[in-house]
Amino acid sequence: MKLMKIVILAGGPATAFDTLIKAYTGNTDTFFIGVDRGAYQLMQAGFPVHLAIGDFDSLNLEEYKSVCAYADDVQQSPAEKDDTDLELAVLAAMAKFPDATDILILGGLGGRFDHEIQIFYLVLQTRFSELLSKITLLDAQNVIRFVGPGTHRLIKLPQMTYLAFASLTPVIGFSIIQAKYDLPKTDFPSNFSLSSNEFVDDRPVTIDFETGIVAVIQSKD
């Protein structure tokens, strides 16, 4: 099987995750990882659970037993550990499918803020740096992708209204072209956030920068 996408459902809020999975995976071969309660949610929605991983402290005994019976593989981690359950899931995905084109992470936004920030800055960890262009964070209102230096042509996603940018590092020479609010080449010596921009008539927007890492966020109310 030539794997194209990995779906990781974390244990946080996951409104409409089933609809999002169907919309963003299409007909590609997909490997499903459920993190902690995310494994139970995948099972309840009728998706396969190829790997269930985590300490499963959010499941009661009956739920945990049902996940163990349903999942192809279960990897239980100790409650006290150096890595988060999500980090363990990403490491497992990298080890099993190093050539996967996309890693979609759902259930990671809108819950505990410390978890949300940790997920947002995941790509800054050296061990995950190769995943920069592969990781997408999804919830019912937001799609977040990460880009490195260069020129990037951004396409408006269906049903999304707003376009925003947030840097994870200092950025040199950042510009925005053909958006509602363009920006000439600008240096940002510290992290920045540029919110509430928009596409114009669904035309692609181009961004360009020389150094740094930027999150590209499309969202809706």
Instruction: For residues 70-92, give the mean pLDDT.
Output: 89
For the ranges 64-73, 121-130, 180-189, the lowest mean pLDDT is seen at 121-130
- Same domain, yes or no: 130 and 151: no
Rank 82-86, 123-127, 150-154 by mean pLDDT and report only the highest.
150-154
Looking at 140, 174, 200, which one is the last position of a domain?
140
Is pLDDT above 80 for 142? yes
- Same domain, yes or no: 85 and 172: no
- Same domain, yes or no: 80 and 189: no
**How far is Cα 166 from Cα 64, in angstroms, rounded to an integer?**
38
Is pLDDT above 60 for 2? no
Is pLDDT above 90 for 3? no
- Domain CATH for 69: 3.40.50.10240
Q: How many CA atoms lie within 13 A of 217 on its CB side?
A: 21
- Same domain, yes or no: 135 and 154: no
- How many domains does the chain fold into? 2
- Same domain, yes or no: 83 and 156: no
Higher pLDDT, 64 or 84: 64
Instruction: For residues 87-109, give the mean pLDDT.
Output: 89
- Same domain, yes or no: 27 and 99: yes
pLDDT of residue 34: 96
- Same domain, yes or no: 122 and 41: yes
Average model confidence (pLDDT) for the chain?
A: 91
Instruction: For residues 211-218, give the mean pLDDT.
Output: 97
Domain carrying residue 203: 146-219
Instruction: For residues 147-174, give the mean pLDDT.
Output: 96
Q: How many CA atoms lie within 13 A of 34 on its CB side?
A: 30
pLDDT of residue 80: 76
